[in-house]
Amino acid sequence: MTTNSELRSRQWFDATGRTGMGHRSWMRSQGFTPEVFDGRPVIGIATTWSELAPCNVHLHRVAESVKRGVWQAGGFPLEFPAMALGETLLRPTAMLYRNLLAMEAEELMRANPLDGVVLLSGCDKTTPGLLMAAASVDLPAVMVTGGPMLNGKYQGTDVGSGTAVWRFEEDLVAGRMTQEECVFAEGCMARSNGHCMTMGTASTMASMAEALGMQLPYSATWPAVDARRYETAQRAGQVIVGLVRRDLRPSAIMTRAAFENAIRVNAAIGGSTNAVIHLLAIAGRLGVPLTLGDFDVLARDVPTLVNLQPSGKYLMEDFCYAGGLPAVIRELDDNGLLHSGAMTVTGAGIGANVADAPCWNREVIQTVADPFQPAGTGTAVLRGNLAPDGAVIKQSASSPHLLKHRGRALVFDSPADYYAVSNDPELDVDEDTVLVIRYCGPRGYPGMPEVSNVALPKKLLLRGIRDMVRICDGRMSGTAYGTVILHVTPEAAAGGPLALVRTGDWITLDVPGRTLTLEVADDELAQRRAGWQPPAPPASRGWTRLYTDHVLQADAGVDMDFLVGASGHEVPRESH
Ligand code: FES
């Protein structure tokens, strides 16, 4: 147990003389009575709120519920802003700024008189960014994600955010939908506060936070507008005060066992490939040994249990009403696929948290005995001379007939180059072609954007073809689908073999065999390499310069080399 006198905040608020007066007096300008400095735990609430991040816009209100809980439990809550990363607006990609959020939040947590933190996130990058920060500071922490939007409703059917966008776009290009219908549909798709309500990256990372033990049971699935979202937030406020008193920190919760649980849960929910990168980055902050290969090995015996878009039919609201993530975790536990004793923010093991979790709808949450998709259909890790350090493919979002494929490459150095010709009826492409889109990696684009699932050439769409093999060193939205090989490592801009592919080369994909092969002889590749020039850096100054100078490749989580690891929460020297 941590006694009040051991709390780090005491080094600010318990100080005498000019120093203590400075710390307390200015805080009292907010109208706090002196009792708030009596030795109670000071709880920071990191809020990634912004009108520029619509998925997180309600977090300010969620913070009010957290504060209620902190006061109830005898703590002193203080909300502070952390970078809000809106996936849909930020260019060139929100991913360019995930590490900046992680760095900003880490420094704010350490530099301020905080004893514990509640992390409020929602949109894709805000959840991993805050978890990375909390891991590096290692102060007691609880996450509260903002929850998904209500199901989209369009022309009598449910439409999923993100997933429907890809379909609407294809329908528009193929003449099945008008521009006016698209504009109407976009309003139907996003009809409440919250993050994407498909099993995209935001829902996946919210589920990962719960599977890692960092947020309370059911937190990932309550809709953003559900009263229980706010109840959970209040409960989190109570819980964080207890965690400070027990000194239970992220490093004791996010252990190797917790990451193994998260990887298995990701397979069971048909989660986003982006979880691979984010979990690797979080593990890197904690010194937990986790590799790209672990995602393939650990997920192979886990079937997909949840029938959610983009792999399936339903949406997060349905998932919530069917029993939410605890029903999935319980099913894994009942079948020996979980480290049941892994510690969580409740103070109990994850298995104990979900021991009685019911399932109310077996169409949405299926069982290990009768799964939605069989074991081995999750994220696969491919290797070969085209991806020496690995690449990933989401099998459940791919077309089964393309998982073993041989085709000629059609190569583009950017998505823009491809889209400049993708509507050309004369484009030399057919359904067997392998589209290669490169220079989209962490350094190349920069920021490794979600551009890999380029829309199919119009010529093929008009023939009714809906999928083809695409290969890219970028990422794909968790809401997207298609036979797309992602995160090819090393990326082209770092001199990976992807940079050496030429239009007309044969490429063989063998997902069951886990290989990706460029059928070009080694001496020919060596010749091509001798003539290859790295692209000019995308920026000469600022964050982008720092980022491209230091960012690691996808197999290391795309963190910065100097941010891997932890600096802890030692109290810095006085400021005056
Ligand atoms: Fe924010 Fe999808 S755009 S979660």
Tens place of pLDDT per residue across the chain (576 aa) = 777 778 999 999 999 999 999 999 999 999 999 999 999 999 999 999 999 999 999 999 999 999 999 999 999 999 999 999 999 999 999 999 999 999 999 999 999 999 999 999 999 999 999 999 999 999 999 999 999 999 999 999 999 987 888 888 888 888 889 999 999 998 999 999 999 999 999 999 999 999 999 999 999 999 999 999 999 999 999 999 999 999 999 999 999 999 999 999 999 999 999 999 999 999 999 999 999 999 999 999 999 999 999 888 999 999 999 999 999 999 999 999 999 999 999 999 999 999 999 999 999 999 999 999 999 888 999 999 999 999 999 998 899 999 999 999 999 999 999 999 999 999 999 999 999 999 999 999 999 999 999 999 999 999 999 999 999 999 998 878 899 999 999 999 999 999 999 999 999 999 999 999 999 999 999 999 999 999 999 999 999 999 999 999 999 999 999 999 999 999 999 888
The per-residue pLDDT for 392 is 97
- The finding on whether 450 has its CB within 6 A of some atom of ligand 1 is no
Beta strands in 231-384 (DSSP E): 379-384
The per-residue pLDDT for 516 is 98
- Quote the ligand 1 centre to 365 CA distance (angstroms): 23
Burial class (CB in 10 A: 0-12, 13-18, 19+), 533: exposed
Contacts of 258 (CB under 8 A, 6+ apart): 211, 212, 213, 339, 342, 343, 350
- The finding on whether 55 has its CB within 6 A of some atom of ligand 1 is yes
Coil, helix or strand for 143? strand
- The finding on whether 200 has its CB within 6 A of some atom of ligand 1 is yes
- The finding on whether 202 has its CB within 6 A of some atom of ligand 1 is yes
- The finding on whether 195 has its CB within 6 A of some atom of ligand 1 is yes
Q: In residues, how long is the chain?
A: 576
- Quote the ligand 1 centre to 466 CA distance (angstroms): 24
In ligand 1, the atom with minimum distance to the C-alpha of 479 is 2
Contacts of 144 (CB under 8 A, 6+ apart): 62, 66, 118, 119, 120, 121, 215, 216, 219, 232, 233, 236
The per-residue pLDDT for 175 is 86
Contacts of 158 (CB under 8 A, 6+ apart): 151, 152, 314, 315
The per-residue pLDDT for 161 is 87
Nearest CA to ligand 1 atom 2: 196
In ligand 1, the atom with minimum distance to the C-alpha of 195 is 4
The per-residue pLDDT for 173 is 82
- Quote the ligand 1 centre to 197 CA distance (angstroms): 9
- Going by their DSSP bridges, the two strands 484-485 and 506-510 should be labelled as unpaired
- Quote the ligand 1 centre to 162 CA distance (angstroms): 8
The per-residue pLDDT for 376 is 87
Q: Quick count: other Cβ atoms within 10 Å of Cβ 301?
A: 14
Q: Which residue has the tokens 């990058």?
A: 125
Nearest CA to ligand 1 atom 1: 123
Nearest CA to ligand 1 atom 3: 87
Which residue type, as a one-letter code, is found at position 381?
A: V
* Token duo for residue 460: 């093929």
In ligand 1, the atom with minimum distance to the C-alpha of 54 is 1
The per-residue pLDDT for 479 is 78
Contacts of 209 (CB under 8 A, 6+ apart): 121, 127, 131, 143, 145, 215, 219, 220
- Quote the ligand 1 centre to 122 CA distance (angstroms): 8
* Token duo for residue 87: 């996936």
Residue 248: C-alpha distances to residues 9, 144, 251 (Å): 17, 17, 8
Contact 546, 538 (CB under 8 A): no
- Quote the ligand 1 centre to 455 CA distance (angstroms): 20
Coil, helix or strand for 437? strand
- The finding on whether 124 has its CB within 6 A of some atom of ligand 1 is yes
Q: Which residue has the tokens 């007939």?
A: 401
Q: Which residue has the tokens 């207890």?
A: 242
Q: How far apart are CA 306 and CA 204, in angstroms?
A: 12
| Residues pairing with 157 in the sheet | 154
Contact 441, 493 (CB under 8 A): yes
Ligand 1 site-directed mutation target among 59, 123, 165, most atoms within 8 Å of CB: 123
Cis peptide, bond prior to residue 92, ω within 30 of zero: yes
The per-residue pLDDT for 311 is 83
- The finding on whether 258 has its CB within 6 A of some atom of ligand 1 is no
- The finding on whether 367 has its CB within 6 A of some atom of ligand 1 is no
- Quote the ligand 1 centre to 486 CA distance (angstroms): 20
User: Which one, of 149, 151, 153, 132, lies nearest residue 141 by Cα?
Assistant: 132
The per-residue pLDDT for 459 is 93
- Quote the ligand 1 centre to 202 CA distance (angstroms): 6
Q: How far apart are CA 42 and CA 44, in angstroms?
A: 7
